[in-house]
Amino acid sequence: MDKMEDRTGAAFDRVIGNTANAVASGALIPHVGLDTASLAASALGSLAEEISFLTRKGSVIGIRRVRRLLARSAEEADVTETELLKAVGSSEHKLDLFMQAMDAARYSRAEAKIDALARAFVTGVFAEDPDTVEEQIIITNTLAQLEMADLRLLSLLSKEAPHEIPDERQEKLRFAWRRDEIVTDEPGLLNVLDAAIAKTHGLGLIYDEGIGRLGYRPYWKLTEFGCACIQAMVNRVE
């Protein structure tokens, strides 16, 4: 937030706090007396002021992320932001895609995720085929549900696994990772790996290539949909 926003926002926060103080004080005095009511109302007023500040700060961060989405989308499409927004208005489906991409960007902490949302948004908004627009809406909704741990897992699974491939019959295991290999390469995922696998598997992003093999053990691999979803962020998630 710039200095003007800080000053204006701080004044607004104080108004919220003072209003809460006055309302609470008026409601409590008949029940607990002036002194007790004043103390309780003062505490409530300070809390309301702090909540107002945090809410306002969150809104500013969200707007900044949406601005990045628009800037990256315009850059990706090699158009101005004005031209980009005009294209959005050409159909209701494209407007739906725009609204969902903005909402997802507001809560995206990773720049790589915002960049991926921009890629999906641009692909859909300039598509002539309604099915392509619908596909990008699905991808956008999926990306919106992913956290950093999920992105790191997907990024890793886009790379060749470290184990040896004994013969051509095992070629499908080249990009399929065992759990111990994932943890060795990404030790920071150890405590959340099961949750990341469960979520990405449930979203149709990964599957177990080990199913049906002799001496079964899980080998996690990207689906075609998984590859499509992380295309814009592969090799960018750290």
pLDDT for res 39? 47
pTM for the full model?
Answer: 0.73
Percentage of the chain beyond pLDDT 90 is 58
Using the predicted structure, report yes or no on whether residue 28 has a pLDDT greater than 60.
Answer: no
Going from the N-terminus, what domains does the chain have, and what CATH number goes with each?
A: 3-144 (no CATH), 148-230 (1.10.10.10)
Is residue 6 exposed (0-12), middle (13-18) or buried (19+ Cβ within 10 Å)? exposed
Tens-digit pLDDT profile for residues 62-93: 899 999 999 999 999 999 999 999 999 889 99
| Average pLDDT of the segment spanning 207-218 | 90
Between 28 and 166, residue with greater pLDDT? 166
